Copies of this chain bind each other. A is one copy, B any other.
């Protein structure tokens, strides 16, 4: 048994194959992101579901289906196997039964970005990388800089001055070379590109290295295992860069190839966006295979404020091939769902995750989600990383006062 059954990289657009034994970024011919391939036919005979039973509850339990070839290169903070919890109260409220929440707030750094960083940094270490750079809207930079610190890899992070303060602190505390830019994520991207070009730093911008998807993929593997290899009918995913959705789809396809799934059909994948930044939704509505740049994007759900994703065509492919859809929701609706999830289920989710509840409600009302269909909603991070989305109106008492009788 090998630790990893990784075999190659390939371009999903022009099918050129690359080695996974040396640093590789976008396809050299067409500029597309690359996907990681595995020797699934060998794995099908060598690997059994039962092998998982005695493994630790982290994402490395799926190491055969991850790109790191030598266990010694694994850089881990114990990430993965986040809770999949049943939501009984919201279930009744929205009319979806069963309704599950995959809670990616319960992970190092408090957001799903930890998965991409753990696998991406580990593979970078395996490839001998000594320095990485990336632009970020916050959570990705936090995760990558902390995992890089653990791997003793130097990191350079550039983030918009408006990115959430907590993620800025995470980057700073990691010892990264952190720069704020008085501009947007696209400005941060330009600054990183220049540094990468001039200094030969390993570029870990979204989808510019192929291994982040593999980390995100483990969300799909876990959902399958947690549901005893019987996938839900529908899965809703907050979609910014879309790496998570691409990863989850890839996971399901790989499990299908291994013959581990009880389902004949894959879940219908739903890309959820904010109506203030909905390029994928617009493209899907028009039946297009790529999205257009969304001008003047704006939403409280910072993580899905991505006007044009480099992997948009992969997201749209996944949606079309699973007969899913793309839905946008208003900020006011998602903020309401965030509060409701806390009040009814005790779970303080992030605005991006809350957007999926708003979308689920909408799709149930439109009967796109049928009565009795099982639904998983993915929450990408902890609500505590976004303290300002909660509207507070708290009474203050003096030390000698008592709680008012009306309460």
Bound Cα distance A190, B175 (Å): 44
Q: Tell me, rounded to whole Å, the shortest Cβ–Cβ distance linking A67 to chain B.
A: 20
Complex: chain B residue closest to A83, CB-CB: B78
Complex interface bits, A182-199 against B, C-beta within 8 A gives 1, otherwise 0: 111001001100110000
Complex interface bits, A370-404 against B, C-beta within 8 A gives 1, otherwise 0: 00000000000011110100101011111101110
Complex: chain B residue closest to A156, CB-CB: B403
Considering only CB atoms and an 8 Å cut-off, how many residues of chain A contact the other chain?
A: 80
Contact A152 B89 (CB under 8 A): yes
Contact A342 B108 (CB under 8 A): no
Determine the main DSSP class of A at the interface with B: mixed
Which stretch (A34-42, A142-150, A209-217) binds chain B?
Answer: A142-150
A119-164 at interface with B (beta carbon < 8 Å): 146-152, 156, 158, 161
Contact A339 B58 (CB under 8 A): no
Is A84 at the interface (CB under 8 A from chain B)?
yes
Contact A387 B346 (CB under 8 A): no
Complex: chain B residue closest to A349, CB-CB: B173
Complex: chain B residue closest to A338, CB-CB: B173
Is A202 at the interface (CB under 8 A from chain B)?
no
Cβ contacts under 8 Å, A170 to chain B: 342, 348, 383-384
Bound Cα distance A103, B146 (Å): 15
Given contacts A83-B108, A108-B105, A150-B347, contact A396 B194 (CB under 8 A): no
Is A180 at the interface (CB under 8 A from chain B)?
yes
Contact A179 B395 (CB under 8 A): yes
Is A168 at the interface (CB under 8 A from chain B)?
yes
Complex: chain B residue closest to A194, CB-CB: B402
Is A296 at the interface (CB under 8 A from chain B)?
no
Is A205 at the interface (CB under 8 A from chain B)?
no
Is A288 at the interface (CB under 8 A from chain B)?
no
A350-386 at interface with B (beta carbon < 8 Å): 382-385
Is A174 at the interface (CB under 8 A from chain B)?
yes
Is A71 at the interface (CB under 8 A from chain B)?
no
Bound Cα distance A195, B401 (Å): 11
Contact among B89, B172, B182 for A398, CB-based, below 8 A: B182
A33-63 at interface with B (beta carbon < 8 Å): 53-54, 57-58
Is A344 at the interface (CB under 8 A from chain B)?
yes
Is A206 at the interface (CB under 8 A from chain B)?
no
Complex interface bits, A291-316 against B, C-beta within 8 A gives 1, otherwise 0: 00000000000000000000000000
Contact among B110, B396, B397 for A382, CB-based, below 8 A: B110
Cβ contacts under 8 Å, A78 to chain B: 82-85, 103, 106
Give residues in A with beta carbon < 8 Å to B: 53-54, 57-58, 75-79, 81-85, 89, 103, 105-110, 146-152, 156, 158, 161, 165-166, 168-170, 172-175, 177-184, 187, 190-191, 194-195, 338-339, 342-348, 382-385, 387, 390, 392, 394-399, 401-403, 407
List 4 extra interface pairs beyond A150-B345, A158-B403, A180-B396, CB under 8 A: A172-B394, A180-B397, A191-B401, A382-B384
For this complex, 5 residue pairs linking A to B, each with C-beta atoms less than 8 Å apart, are A89-B152, A172-B392, A180-B397, A181-B399, A382-B384
